Amino acid sequence: MGLATSDWLTRFAAELGIEPPGPQEVQELLALAGVAAHAAERTAAPLSCWLAARAGVGPAEGLRVAERLAAALGSD
């Protein structure tokens, strides 16, 4: 079995030279991924998180944008 999520994130963040996400950010990122996965194909979930990060948008704002888009598309 692999590492626990928190252990993976801590180690991956260290390799990237950044701090890992805090508990609130983790919840927001998972919510963002969930909105994207339900509004589109499941592969949209991790890619939407990457797009938010690439745009310099934090998890909370990314979630708000995803929820707004999903609502406009008539998704849950």
DSSP string, 10-61: HHHHHHHTSPPPPHHHHHHHHHHHHHHHHHS-TTHHHHHHHHHHHTT--HHH
- What are the structural domain ranges in the chain? 22-73
Q: Which two tokens stand for residue 57?
A: 């948008």
How high is the mean pLDDT of the chain? 95
CB environment 4-14: b (16+ within 10 A), e (fewer): eeeeebeeeee
Residue 1's pLDDT band (boundaries 50, 70, 90)?
A: confident
Averaged pLDDT, 25-35: 97
pLDDT of residue 44: 97
* C-alpha pair distances (Å), 9 with each of 13, 57, 75: 6, 19, 30
- Tell me the per-residue pLDDT of 42-60, one tens digit each, with 9 for 90 and over: 999 999 999 999 999 999 9
User: Which pTM value belongs to this model?
Assistant: 0.88
